[in-house]
Structure 1
Amino acid sequence: MKKNIVGKLTVTLTCATILFTLTACGKKADKADDTSDKGVTTVTVATGNASLPFAYLNEDNQYDGLDVKLMEAVDKALPEYKFKFIGGDFPTTLSNLESGKAMIASFQFEVNDERKQKFTYGTVPYTDWDTFIVTNGDKGKALDSFDELKGKKVYVTTGTNQAAMAENYLKAHKDAFTLVYGEYTNEQIVEAIKSGAVDATLAPKYSNDLYVKNYGVNFVIGKTPVNKSKAYILFNKKADEKLQKAVNDEMAKLKEDGTILKLSKKYLGGDYVPKG
């Protein structure tokens, strides 16, 4: 009887020991998995999904464009972070950033007072964004100032700096010209100007260069910009300072080593990188 009790006790203890060992091994494995992911933070980046050549979905339904590839280059150099993109039109990108759905936004953002209040700007400008008046050269001469737009219809993309600067001019010069708002593609902008639906748009030099190159139009710009500016990324106001520094530092390196220039030539067709 005693032998049976001892035998049963031995088996029980052995099984318990095996169970404990397996459980312990299992816990170590779980911990190892956690450790492999430890220190890697997923960061959502808001960008466009239909804005060639800056941010769009390509034929493989993958995010592409200058702004996207720039963020991917930053992400590649920062193993402690993993970037995930969320797309939308220009206003949606800003609302995604403001709401906290994203901590970074990359979509050719210029500096203006309203955005400075809501967001934190990156420290590295990566695209020249001097704004010119774009018109159809077949229908008239190039224009150099807002004063010359009197009585005309001007297309602006909703929520952009170009819309804001035109609105500010109209505050002091009521009804000088009419603004037509939208989320047009490059092709739609070209067609609107060609057809006369609008007389002009506000855009940087490289946008007009693309209109001429890709659509064979005779669009022209003035000799001087109506506004001098540059594009930056934006951070949510609550974005971690360590993240901000890491991204800003890496963007400075990418500008220095020529990566941003390569992206500019690939997607914009030339050197549109700010020198400063």
Structure 2
Amino acid sequence: MRKKYYFAVSLLVLLALGAVLSGCSSKEATGATTGDQVILVGTQNDYPPFAFADENNELTGYDIEVVKAIDEKLDGYKFEFVAVPWDSMFLALESNKIQAIADQVAKTPERQEKYLFTDESYFAAQTVIAVKTGRKDIQTIEDLEGKKVGALAGDSYTLLLEEYNKKAAQPIDLKYSESGNPSEILQDVQNGRLDAYVNDPIMINAVLEKNNLDVEVVGQPLVNDDMGIVLRTEEKGEELKALIDPILKELKQDGTLAELSKKWTGGEYIPE
């Protein structure tokens, strides 16, 4: 039933997104006057400090600024951002509502079979467990067995837990968020409706600080992931990949990515 629910939500969101993007022809026309082809880049608007809407409702964050840095060096193309809910992100890409994703997407083998990723990664992320402050019985993924854990359908953190459940003595009780909002999941952890949440520590700490939540990260990182830009598996996607990879490499070498990482996350989390 849940899969059917998310599919229905995704269709509704895409219909709405299609209406919003019905003005895309005017965007493309704008790009055409400058000789640039418009590429719509999907990202979330509630995933700080990587991609979120600021006080002026403008998309900003680390992932946004990385794409803007690429855009400055890439001739012939113009990147424009589209806020898309996570549970509709890949469906939007597959249906060509967007042509790229920059949203902390981990390069998992399953995703790389279906989608085109840049060879160059632009962020090195960790996966950690967050619990209500002071809780001592959860430190490892094994400790999550039988516990209620918040989840977002289709993200790499949830996929990790779903894969673990295939061999767990007692499955983790995954509670899929209907809002798709990590802030609400962490509030449920604080309020005791959930036992834990698994996600990136930088995002978690940003949300905790902003909302003053009584939640903390515990234990050691479960895994480390490299994040890449996702493109459509088609000729144009291949063309973009061939253009973007050398630019990402240059942004690593000249220190731009490290500077942006320090600005938004407080540290240099750049893959080698």
TM-score range with shorter-chain normalisation?
A: 0.7 to 0.9
Selected match of 2:154 from 154, 159, 174: 159
* CA distance 1:209–1:141, change in 2 (3 Å): farther
Q: Which runs of 5+ in 1 are unaligned?
A: 1-33
SS of aligned partner of 1:59: coil
SS of aligned partner of 1:82: strand
SS of aligned partner of 1:226: strand
Alignment partner, residue 222 of structure 2: 226
- What is the deviation of 1:269? 2.6
- Inter-partner Cα distance in structure 1 for 2:102 and 2:180: 19
Alignment partner, residue 199 of structure 1: 195
Alignment partner, residue 110 of structure 1: 106
Alignment partner, residue 10 of structure 1: none
Contact 1:211 1:219 in 2 (8 A): no
- Inter-partner Cα distance in structure 1 for 2:43 and 2:215: 31
- Inter-partner Cα distance in structure 1 for 2:223 and 2:34: 46
Structure number, greater radius of gyration: 1
Alignment partner of 1:173 is 2:177: no
List aligned pairs for 1:90-101, cutoff 5 A.
90-101=86-97
- What is the deviation of 1:197? 0.9
Which amino acid is the alignment partner of residue 179 of structure 1? L
Alignment partner, residue 57 of structure 2: 61
SS of aligned partner of 1:242: helix
Selected match of 1:269 from 258, 262, 266: 266
- What is the deviation of 1:196? 0.8
Alignment partner, residue 48 of structure 2: 52
SS of aligned partner of 2:97: coil
Once the two structures are superposed, residues 32-59 of structure 1 have per-residue CA deviations (whole angstroms, 9 ceiling, x without a partner) of xx99644x22212111122222222222
- What is the deviation of 1:184? 4.6
* CA distance 1:175–1:62, change in 2 (3 Å): same
- What is the deviation of 1:68? 1.2
- What is the deviation of 1:202? 0.9
Alignment partner of 1:148 is 2:143: yes
SS of aligned partner of 1:229: strand
* CA distance 1:88–1:239, change in 2 (3 Å): farther
- Inter-partner Cα distance in structure 2 for 1:174 and 1:103: 41
Alignment partner, residue 21 of structure 1: none
Alignment partner, residue 115 of structure 2: 119
Contact 1:98 1:118 in 2 (8 A): no
Q: Which runs of 5+ in 2 are unaligned?
A: 1-30
- What is the deviation of 1:158? 1.9
Aligned length in residues: 240
Once the two structures are superposed, residues 76-123 of structure 1 have per-residue CA deviations (whole angstroms, 9 ceiling, x without a partner) of 111311112222111222111111222211000112233112211111
Alignment partner of 1:76 is 2:72: yes
TM-score between both structures, scaled by the size of structure 2: 0.79
Alignment partner of 1:245 is 2:226: no
TM-score between both structures, scaled by the size of structure 1: 0.78
Contact 1:105 1:235 in 2 (8 A): yes
Contact 1:128 1:272 in 2 (8 A): yes
Alignment partner of 1:188 is 2:180: no
- Inter-partner Cα distance in structure 1 for 2:138 and 2:207: 15
Alignment partner of 1:255 is 2:265: no
Report percent identity of matched pairs. Answer: 26
Q: RMSD of aligned C-alpha atoms?
A: 2.4
Which amino acid is the alignment partner of residue 165 of structure 1? L
Once the two structures are superposed, residues 222-258 of structure 1 have per-residue CA deviations (whole angstroms, 9 ceiling, x without a partner) of 13x2222111111100152332111111111112222
* CA distance 1:153–1:83, change in 2 (3 Å): same
- What is the deviation of 1:216? 6.0
Contact 2:252 2:258 in 1 (8 A): yes
Once the two structures are superposed, residues 124-160 of structure 1 have per-residue CA deviations (whole angstroms, 9 ceiling, x without a partner) of 212222212222341225512x221122111122210
- What is the deviation of 1:219? 0.7
